[in-house]
Amino acid sequence: MVGYNFNVPGRESKENYFRNYSIQGHLNSRSYVHQISGPSGELYSFIALDACLEPGPRRPFNFIGVLTQNEIEHVNLLIKEIEKSRSNYTIWFGHYPTSCILAPGEGVRKFMGLHKNGLAYVCGHLHTLLGTAPHLYTLQQNGLLELELADWKDNRKYRIMAIDHGLFSFVDVDHGKWPVAVITNPKHALFKMPEREPLNAMKSSSHIRVLAFSTAEVVNVSVKLDEGQWQICSHVYGPLYVVPWNPEEFFEKIHHINVHVIDSYGRETYLEQPFALDASRPSFHVFPRLILMSNITHISQILFGLMLVCCIVPLCFLRFLNKLVKGGYITTRLNIVKVWYTKLWILANVDRFFYPIVLYPLYLAIGPWSVGEVIEGYIGVIFIWGTFINNSYLPGAFTYAYAYIQLILFQLPFTLVMAHNLGQRINSRASSKALGVVLIMVMLIQIIFAYFFWLSYGTTALLLGPYRTWPIIMGFWLWRESHTLSVDFLRKNLGPFMSSREVSQQSGL
């Protein structure tokens, strides 16, 4: 179950393709270790970190992985076995990036960082974020590199990794592109790991080392340092090519190494990368760092909480102010309130609009979103904070992001549209066509969302799903009410705070 487990009731289920059809699935149902011995006796360990939800629900509420305490204890046992075997190097791999994994305690990064022989965590899931981040790489605070790889299905990418005297190097390659080159010494300056690699080995090395691969015979490998001359490398064995160098000439600042590889078919590859023998290094791009070093769940919770406050507190505040005005507790006119909140004031003080608009976002934070087949053949209940299915509890994570999007795309624009329309009504003006277009767009988005929700979880989940059905019902009903409610009733509910004339003058309607 190391990859996705969509619509998988359990480990022994026939839908668990990893268990039933993969090589490792017959041997290991969850996290496992695979070890390879090198030609010089060094031992390389690969830890598969399985953070898949169990059971695995259908889309879309399966975006975040979870490491349970039991799974962490299991991986700790694997680490102890690795240490007993005196493994030299460890590569972690899994489906989810660490930013998309829920884990108890101090989190998955702290847990992985405790293993001192670890070099990198390679993963997928986010891949290139639909092309917005083709190189999702970063160096985590635990000293490990975290390296996303573009997906195989659409981008046909694969990765070659090499460890040369403790120095970790890699290159991501388009399938079918030949020849392929990996520079292992000096290594890429961006991917230096000072806490985990013997970086001084580059200073004392006698040769530049390059790995060159092709489906045909490699006939030439050449190297150029900075603006120097091209030097032809000697073939040692297998894919290894070397050329002597004097590292003392490059002890300071960042330099560049270029490699040119030609095979017998006449195909060529050029590779350039920076290197540094001192502490100099380029910087990772900001966006990949934010994506990989953050916590997606925490960010989603914060965004949802802030948007929930924005959607509820202003209306409640204005309603409270109106009560103070009617009770005679406020005698001074609050001009700033009248300038900025005239339209919302009307909305907040008419019960049939106020309660549905305020209670819906509150319900998103408390009540069940839907009851239906979260897994085919298994009825589950979805809350923002978790899902109950097949005698299991799956903690809520990315549900907060979906709720935030729902408030952005429905609650906020719908509230503003309704407030504006009531402002038009109270001044005896017909609704503008632009306002109708905006409402149609808002409702059309909700209908599309409901359609995809039905495709994911079925008819029962849609009918018993306030998360998706209530906005549509509430939207059309309140829009109708805003056109049929009498103007006198609206003006009456304004109370003594302001007159209809003041509304007209200060709202600019």
With contact defined as beta carbons under 8 Å apart, do 154 and 124 qualify? no
Q: What are phi and psi of 149, to 5 degrees?
A: -125, 135
3-class DSSP state of 362: helix
pTM value is: 0.87
d(CA 178, CA 261): 9
With contact defined as beta carbons under 8 Å apart, do 92 and 120 qualify? yes
- pLDDT one digit per residue (tens) for the chain, 509 residues: 455 678 888 877 888 888 888 888 778 878 999 999 988 889 999 999 999 888 889 888 888 999 999 999 999 999 999 999 999 999 999 999 999 999 988 889 998 998 889 999 999 999 999 889 999 999 999 999 999 999 998 899 999 999 999 999 999 999 999 999 999 999 999 999 999 999 999 999 999 999 999 999 999 999 999 999 999 999 999 999 999 999 999 999 999 999 999 999 999 999 999 999 999 999 999 999 999 999 999 999 999 999 999 999 999 988 888 787 777 666 545 554 453 467 788 888 888 999 999 999 999 999 899 999 998 889 999 999 999 998 889 998 889 999 999 999 999 999 999 988 887 777 666 567 788 899 999 999 999 999 999 998 989 999 999 999 999 999 999 998 888 887 777 776 665 445 444 444 444 43
What are residue 210's DSSP bridge partners?
183, 241
CA atoms within 13 A on the CB side of 164: 25
3-class DSSP state of 370: strand
Tokens of 346: 């009307």
Q: Nearest to residue 209, comparing CAs of 269, 152, 165?
A: 165
> H or E stretch including 321?
helix 296-326
With contact defined as beta carbons under 8 Å apart, do 196 and 286 qualify? no
Domain extents in the chain: 1-125, 154-283, 296-494
* Cβ neighbour number for residue 248 with a 10 Å cutoff: 8
Helices vs. strands in the chain: H and E counts, helices first: 15, 22
- The residues, any chain, with a CB within 8 Å of residue 420's CB and separated by 6 or more, are 343, 435, 509
> Checking DSSP bridges between strand 378-383 and strand 218-225, what pairing results, if any?
unpaired
> H or E stretch including 102?
strand 101-102
Question: Given the structure tokens 């709202």, which residue do they identify?
Answer: 507
Distance of CA 297 to the CA centre of its chain: 9
With contact defined as beta carbons under 8 Å apart, do 167 and 212 qualify? no
pLDDT for the residue 280: 92
Give the CA radius of gyration of the chain.
Answer: 30
d(CA 111, CA 308): 33
What are residue 168's DSSP bridge partners?
163
pLDDT for the residue 485: 81
Pick the CATH number of 1-125 from 3.30.750, 2.40.240, 3.10.450, 3.20.20: 3.30.750
For 154-283, give the CATH class.
Answer: mainly beta
Q: Nearest to residue 164, comparing CAs of 195, 123, 205?
A: 205
